[in-house]
Amino acid sequence: MALKQYCLKMSHSLWNDVDKNRMALVGTLYPQGITRADYIREAVTQYNKWNAEVVAPKMTALKKEMDEPIGFYIDDGLDVRW
């Protein structure tokens, strides 16, 4: 799989949070540490899995429950047709 480059700009405090969280993994899940790129790549992968398992089914169910718009609104508010 070829990786595409992407420039990610974040505030200094957000980068500090990324560094703090990835360094907390050193010695537990990643004995040698984890790079910023690998940490962010893994975070995006996990978010996409969660989105597919949790959010997508809810959105599909919500779309099925939505009613069709009534004719009054489709016809620009004109309830009498001449």
For 46-82, what is each residue's pLDDT tens digit? 999 999 999 999 999 888 887 666 555 555 555 555 5
Tens of pLDDT along 1-60?
A: 788 988 989 999 999 999 999 998 888 888 888 899 999 999 999 999 999 999 999 999
Total-model pTM = 0.67
Residue 22 CB neighbour total at 10 angstroms: 19
Distances (CA, A) of 23 to 13, 29, 33, 43, 66: 15, 10, 7, 14, 45
pLDDT of residue 10: 93
